[in-house]
Amino acid sequence: MAPPHPLVQLARDAIRYHLEFRKSLVVSSDLKSKFSAPTGVFVTLFLNEALRGCVGSLQPQTNTLAQEVVRNAVLAGFNDPRYDPVSKKDIEKLDIHIEAITPSEPVEDLSTLDPEVDGLIVRSGKKQGVLLPAIEGVDTVEQQIKICRSKGKIKSSESVTYFRFRVEQHF
């Protein structure tokens, strides 16, 4: 079995460190320099193939991709309101997906979207819903829009703007 991508290992280390010391892992200067660009990132946790936590940022909240992974891994593991915090016995069993986000761009023609490669942001005023690309069971743009509207609590009667983004995945 190949070793995990360094960002996946960093996310696991950040969760383990937070569980043990209740504070954020300090990113090594080597990883900070290797993953230095400020980038939005989603960290998704699975346990026994079921979603266990997911937290992301479309725009970076920290100075480097490495720091963003640490931040969002801890939030996904301990602050996703849909789940109990990760326990020590689950850390090594977690399947961790890292998705670095490209800057979003407006979409004028919905027919140009591909749910396999395009993430979607649906915005109405201050409300927005976001969906990553390549979600199992989401095969059409219409499904993406419906899910984004639901997540953002955007009614079908409200006018919206659409934005696409892409991701660089690490498992």
Q: Is the pLDDT of residue 36 over 80?
A: yes
* Cβ contact 84:140 at 8 Å: no
Write down the pLDDT at residue 39: 95
Q: Is the pTM of this model over 0.75?
A: yes
* Cβ contact 60:38 at 8 Å: yes
Q: Is the pLDDT of residue 167 over 80?
A: yes
Write down the pLDDT at residue 1: 76
Q: What is the pLDDT of residues 3-28, one digit of tens each?
A: 899 999 999 999 999 999 999 999 99
The dihedral through the CA atoms of 93, 171, 76, 61 has a sign that is positive
Share of the chain above pLDDT 70, in %: 100
Share of the chain above pLDDT 90, in %: 98
Q: What kind of fold does domain 105-165 have according to CATH?
A: Dna Ligase; domain 1 (3.30.1490)
CA 118 → CA 20, 98, 112, distances in Å?
37, 16, 9
Q: How far apart are CA 99 and CA 120, in angstroms?
A: 14
Write down the pLDDT at residue 155: 98
- Tell me whether domains 6-101 and 105-165 share a fold: no
Closest CA to 132 of 4, 6, 41, 47: 41
Write down the pLDDT at residue 2: 84
Q: Is the pLDDT of residue 67 over 80?
A: yes
The conformation of residue 38, written as its DSSP 8-state character, comes to -
Mean pLDDT taken over the chain:
96
Q: Where are the alpha helices (DSSP H) in the chain?
A: 6-21, 29-34, 65-78, 141-151
Query: Domain locations in the chain?
Result: 6-101, 105-165
Q: What kind of fold does domain 6-101 have according to CATH?
A: Glycoprotein, Type 4 Pilin (3.30.700)
Q: How far apart are CA 5 and CA 69, in angstroms?
A: 12
Count CB neighbours of 20 within 10 A. 11
* Cβ contact 129:149 at 8 Å: yes
Query: What would the mean pLDDT of 96-121 be, rounded to a whole number?
Result: 97
Q: How far apart are CA 105 and CA 103, in angstroms?
A: 7
Write down the pLDDT at residue 77: 98
* Amino acid letter, 111: S
Closest CA to 66 of 29, 109, 21, 118: 29
